[in-house]
C-alpha cells in the first residue's frame, strides 16, 4: 500500500473514499458492470488485497486502468501506545499533515474501535479536551474507514474489531456524508459486515442532521447529553443554544421508532458539583420518560487547564442507583487507557486550528 504522501503526490483516486453505491457509479462510468463494486469490496476488506494486479477476476485492461489512476490508501500510524489495561491508541497521519487519534478497547468477547470523524472539533464542549484544540477540517471517507482498515491490519487476524463507535475526535454529524459512507462500509456484508447494533454514531445534538440520519442510516445512535436543563447544557454543550432539549428529545423519539426494541444511548459525563446531584438524576428520568433509552455514565477524565473534577465513586453509584430504580438501564463506563490519554474526552491529535479557538482559550485563561 502506498503512503499518504505518495497519494498526495500522485493525485490518484483513493477507492476507500467510496461505499458500495459510490463504487457502482464509479465502475458504470468506466463502462464496467456495477457488480465490480462488490468484487472490489471483497478484495479490499475481506481479502486485504490492495494491489490491483492481484485482483484476478478483473480484466487485464481494468487492472491496468486502476493501477494507473487509482489507489487504496489508509491513514498512516505515526505513534502507537499501549496502555497497561491493553488499550491501544494510534496517532494517525492524514494527507494534509494533521494528525488524529484512534483507540482500540479490548474486552472479553469483543473489541471496540473508537473512530475520529474530524480533525479537531467544530463544537466547543467545555469538558472535552478535543474541543480545546480547535478545528481544521472534516475527514474524508477514506480517512474514516481507513482507521478501521488500519486497526484491523495492525491487530492481525487473531484480534477482531467487533464494534465501532464514532466517538473519537469531532462531531460526526457535521461531517454527515463522509461519515454515513464510512458507516455503510462498516455494515456492508461485502466489506466488514458489522451489525447495525455494533456500529454507533454519537452526536452532541445536531438536530437537522439527526432527522436526516433517521432516513438514511440505521446504525445505532448515541447522544452526548450531560445536562437536564437548557441553562446548564448551553454551558456544557453550546450547540444546545441552537437545538435545545425539547427539539433534541423529539428527534430521539423518532429514532427509537425505527425498529422494535430500539433504544437511544445517552452519554452523561459526571462532573463534581455540576450535574451529579439527586435532583439531576430525577430530572434525567423526567426528561427521558418518553424516549426508549439507556444511559452511560462517564467518569470525567481530566486534561490540562480543565476546571472540572470527576464526581466521587459514591456519588456516581448513587446517581446510577436512582436511574436504575427509575426504570432506565444505566451503566458506568469503565475508564480505559487513561494512562496513555486514550480515555473518553482525552483525544487531542495534532490540529492546525483554522477556527483559532485555541488562541481564544489561551487569551481567556491568561486574563
Alpha-helical (H) ranges within the chain are 4-10, 20-29, 36-41, 60-69, 141-155, 176-187, 207-216, 230-236, 245-256, 278-287, 313-325, 357-366
Active site residue 217: no
The pairing of strands 110-114 and 118-120 is unpaired
The pairing of strands 76-82 and 88-93 is antiparallel
Q: Which residue has the cell 455514565?
A: 297
Distance CA 148, CA 102 (A): 9
Q: What does DSSP assign to residue 237?
A: S
Question: HEC states along 21-89?
Answer: HHHHHHHHHCCCCCCHHHHHHHHHHHCCCCCHHHCCCCCHHHHHHHHHHEECCCCEEEEEEECCCCCEE
CA-CA-CA-CA torsion sign (240, 246, 250, 256): positive
Contact 37, 203 (CB under 8 A): no
Bridge partners (DSSP) listed for residue 103: 89, 114
Tally of CB atoms within 10 A around 2: 14
Contact 81, 88 (CB under 8 A): yes
Query: Of 114, 128, 252, 344, which one is the catalytic site residue?
Result: 344
Active site residue 254: no
Query: Of 24, 76, 101, 267, which one is the catalytic site residue?
Result: 101
Bridge partners (DSSP) listed for residue 90: 80, 102
Give the catalytic positions in this structure.
Answer: 101, 344
Amino acid at each position: 500500500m502506498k503512503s499518504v504522501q505518495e497519494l498526495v503526490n500522485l493525485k490518484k483516486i483513493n477507492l476507500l473514499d467510496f461505499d458500495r453505491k459510490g463504487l457502482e457509479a464509479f465502475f458504470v462510468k468506466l463502462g464496467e458492470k456495477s457488480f465490480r463494486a462488490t468484487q472490489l469490496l471483497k478484495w479490499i476488506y475481506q481479502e486485504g488485497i490492495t494491489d490491483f494486479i492481484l485482483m484476478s477476476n478483473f480484466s487485464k485492461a481494468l487492472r491496468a486502468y486502476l493501477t494507473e489512476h487509482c489507489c487504496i490508501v489508509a491513514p498512516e500510524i505515526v505513534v502507537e501506545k499501549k496502555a497497561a489495561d491493553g488499550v491501544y491508541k494510534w496517532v494517525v497521519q492524514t494527507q494534509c499533515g494533521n494528525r488524529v487519534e484512534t483507540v482500540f478497547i479490548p474486552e472479553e468477547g469483543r473489541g471496540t474501535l473508537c473512530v475520529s470523524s474530524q480533525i479537531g472539533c467544530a463544537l466547543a464542549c467545555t469538558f472535552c479536551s478535543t474541543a480545546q484544540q480547535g478545528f481544521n477540517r472534516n475527514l474524508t471517507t477514506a480517512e474514516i474507514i481507513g482507521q478501521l482498515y488500519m486497526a484491523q491490519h495492525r491487530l492481525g487476524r487473531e484480534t477482531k474489531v467487533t464494534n465501532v463507535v464514532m466517538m473519537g475526535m469531532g462531531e460526526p454529524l457535521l461531517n454527515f456524508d463522509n461519515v454515513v459512507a464510512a458507516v455503510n462500509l462498516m455494515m456492508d456484508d461485502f466489506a466488514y459486515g458489522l451489525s447495525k447494533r455494533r456500529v454507533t454514531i454519537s452526536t452532541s445534538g445536531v438536530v437537522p442532521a439527526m432527522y436526516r440520519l433517521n432516513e438514511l442510516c440505521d446504525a445505532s445512535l448515541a447522544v452526548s447529553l450531560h445536562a437536564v436543563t437548557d441553562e446548564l447544557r448551553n454551558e456544557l454543550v453550546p450547540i444546545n443554544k441552537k437545538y435545545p432539549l425539547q427539539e433534541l428529545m423529539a428527534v430521539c423519539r423518532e429514532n427509537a421508532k425505527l425498529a422494535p426494541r430500539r433504544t437511544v444511548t445517552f452519554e452523561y459525563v459526571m462532573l463534581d458539583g455540576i450535574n451529579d446531584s439527586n435532583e439531576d438524576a430525577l430530572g434525567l428520568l423526567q426528561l427521558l420518560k418518553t424516549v426508549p433509552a439507556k444511559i452511560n455514565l462517564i467518569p470525567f477524565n481530566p486534561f490540562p487547564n480543565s476546571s472540572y473534577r470527576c464526581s466521587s465513586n459514591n456519588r456516581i453509584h448513587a446517581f446510577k442507583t436512582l436511574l436504575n430504580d427509575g426504570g432506565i438501564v444505566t451503566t458506568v463506563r469503565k475508564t480505559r487507557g487513561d494512562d496513555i490519554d486514550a480515555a473518553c474526552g482525552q483525544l487531542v491529535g495534532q490540529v492546525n486550528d483554522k477556527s483559532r479557538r485555541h488562541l481564544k482559550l489561551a487569551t481567556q485563561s491568561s486574563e
